[in-house]
Amino acid sequence: MSTVSATRRTTTGRTPPQWPPSPAPLLVHFAIWAGAAGVLALWWTGTASVVGPAGWLTGAGRITGLLAGYACAVLVALMARVPLLDHTLGTDRLARWHAAGGRYTVSLVLAHILLIIWGYTLTSRSGVLHETTTLVLDYPDMLKATAGFLLLAGTGAVSARAARRRMSYETWHYLHFATYLAIFLAFGHQLSNGADFVGRRPAQLGWYALYAAVAALIVWYRFAVPVRRALRHRLRVTEVRPEAPGVVSVHLTGHRLTELGARPGQFFRWRFLAPGLWWTANPYSLSAPPLPHHLRITVKEAGGHSAALARLRPGTRVWAEGPYGAFTEARRRRSKVLLLAGGVGITPLRALFETLPGEVTLVYRARRPEDLALRPELDAIAAARGAAVHYFVDEPAAYSAPLTARALSRLVPDLAAHEVYLCGPPGMTTAARRALRGAGIPRRHIHHESFEF
């Protein structure tokens, strides 16, 4: 491999102990499945017998309806930005669980509708169209539930990858608020029509408690906490500095910033109170370790919001929601660390490069030499700590290198013994994961948080 620049690698600082993997994902999975078992127990205890095809279909419709209602509460809780979940599981993992759970939820709701209509049709010996009309128009809260289903299905449609590519982050983000309205509209029919709730006061109170708890999490962590922190910390832009073509660093100052508890590798959702920007909050990582009165983000132009940041004026007020993410030193389980960055993915890794103890190697890939943002800082950090930093670019070809297991193993001695932090564009991270796994690094030692929506 060829490198644009490299410095000698030595081991500095303390070496962290090697702990076993975090049990947090298993515990959360257990809690979710335990709740689902409780929901099934609700149906079991409330069902005396199931007789004939109509009974089986109606029973299956009740089960899928209960599970869909429970899944809606879980989906919202996963994205409530609860710090305990976000800092242990990571925003990226929570988003993947939320996306997968959304597909299951829509499927459960659709199965519930079809099974109930089919079962009721066999029971009443009427036509499907007649039974559907009767359910929607004559049963309590069913018109609202129908509207809720249409909203939920529409949100699921715009969440499909093909649809997401055609819309901005801001549009996609605000369309997702329709999920809250859909769940609100559908909630009433569960209690007024559900055979598992009618006449069963403890079951009703339990269902109310579940949804009230999730609503409280949303109100507190997604609305109250950001407003309280904005008023307390009073963040403002102090400087916007160009770093590379289409890349700028935004410097911010504020009060009592240590109370935020931000760590290198984490990100905030930033709302800049400037014309055209105040109505949306976009995620950007800290590109330097947080200080008591200073934060910095480095952003590449990739849309209207990010491009507008280059025109921010000093003094612009900022609301910051966070910190979020588990892309921090806490994930580290080995003494040797490889930081692998692509393009503007250097931003969280630059902060980690300065602060991670022990033996750290940085590999930074970009399209052209001038696209290597923050390079002077990286060289200074490498020299100060005696770490290795390697630069590769696609153009000119003399300084390019394949992203393969063999190439990485030649560049980084004892690669299989390293913990890896990976951040970059989707194509690069996919190739890097494949190369790292091919080099013998277990999946649990490869850490990556995607900021795609």
Q: Tell me: the pLDDT tens digits for 185-242?
A: 999 898 888 888 888 899 999 999 999 999 999 999 989 999 999 999 999 999 999 9
43 inside domain: yes
Give the domain CATH number at 371: 3.40.50.80
Higher pLDDT, 10 or 322: 322
> Is the domain of 125 the same as that of 70?
yes
Half-sphere exposure (Cβ direction) of 449: Cα atoms closer than 13 Å: 27
User: What's the pLDDT score for residue 193?
Assistant: 86
> Is the domain of 140 the same as that of 87?
yes
For the chain, percent of residues with pLDDT exceeding 90: 59
Q: 24-45 vs 52-78: helix axis angle to the nearest 10?
A: 150
Work out the average pLDDT over 24-32.
89
Q: Is 157 helix (H, G, I), strand (E, B) or coil?
A: helix
> Is the domain of 178 the same as that of 266?
no
86 inside domain: yes
Judge whether residue 90 has pLDDT over 90.
no
Global pTM value:
0.81
> Is the domain of 34 the same as that of 95?
yes
User: What's the pLDDT score for residue 296?
Assistant: 97
User: What's the pLDDT score for residue 170?
Assistant: 63
Report which of 413, 415, 422, 421 is spatially closest to residue 438, judged by C-alpha positions. 415
11 inside domain: no
pLDDT band (50, 70, 90) for residue 178? confident
Strand order in the sheet with 418-423: 388-393, 359-366, 336-342, 418-423, 446-448
Contact 358, 16 (CB under 8 A): yes
Domain closes at, from 273, 300, 324:
324
User: What's the pLDDT score for residue 164?
Assistant: 62
Higher pLDDT, 15 or 435: 435
What is the count of structural domains for the chain?
3
For the segment 395-443, what is each residue's pLDDT rounded down to a tens digit?
887 778 889 999 999 999 899 999 999 999 988 999 999 999 999 999 9
User: What's the pLDDT score for residue 99?
Assistant: 84
> Is the domain of 188 the same as that of 110?
yes
User: What's the pLDDT score for residue 208?
Assistant: 95
Work out the average pLDDT over 286-294.
95
Higher pLDDT, 356 or 3: 356
For the segment 323-336, what is each residue's pLDDT rounded down to a tens digit?
999 999 988 888 89
> Is the domain of 210 the same as that of 236?
no
For the segment 352-376, what is each residue's pLDDT rounded down to a tens digit?
999 999 899 999 999 999 999 999 9
Judge whether residue 17 has pLDDT over 80.
no
CA distance 137 to 79: 34
User: What's the pLDDT score for residue 7?
Assistant: 41
> Is the domain of 334 the same as that of 311?
no
14 inside domain: no
CA distance 210 to 213: 5
8 inside domain: no
CA distance 295 to 252: 5
208-238 burial string, b = 16+ CB within 10 Å, else e?
eebbeebbebbeebeeeebeebbeebebebb
Q: Domain of residue 51: give its range.
A: 24-221
User: What's the pLDDT score for residue 451?
Assistant: 56
CA 98 from chain center: how many Å?
8
> Is the domain of 234 the same as that of 361?
no
Bridge partners (DSSP) of residue 446 are 420
Contact 449, 89 (CB under 8 A): no
CA distance 275 to 267: 23
> Is the domain of 251 the same as that of 310?
yes
Domain closes at, from 196, 221, 246:
221
Backbone angles phi, psi at 403, to 5 degrees: -95, 80
Judge whether residue 85 has pLDDT over 60.
yes
pLDDT band (50, 70, 90) for residue 152? confident
Domain closes at, from 297, 324, 351:
324
CA distance 361 to 354: 11
CA distance 324 to 89: 10
> Is the domain of 114 the same as that of 166?
yes
Please state whether the peptide bond connecting residue 323 to the residue before it is cis, i.e. omega within 30 degrees of 0.
yes
> Is the domain of 192 the same as that of 238?
no
Report which of 358, 344, 343, 443 is spatially closest to residue 393, judged by C-alpha positions. 343
> Mean pLDDT across the chain, nearest whole number?
87
> Is the domain of 36 the same as that of 135?
yes
User: What's the pLDDT score for residue 8?
Assistant: 39
368 inside domain: yes
Mention every residue, 6+ apart, whose C-beta is less than 8 A from residue 230: 319, 320
Give the domain CATH number at 270: 2.40.30.10
7 inside domain: no
Q: 91-124 vs 52-78: helix axis angle to the nearest 10?
A: 160
For the segment 260-269, what is each residue's pLDDT rounded down to a tens digit?
999 999 999 9
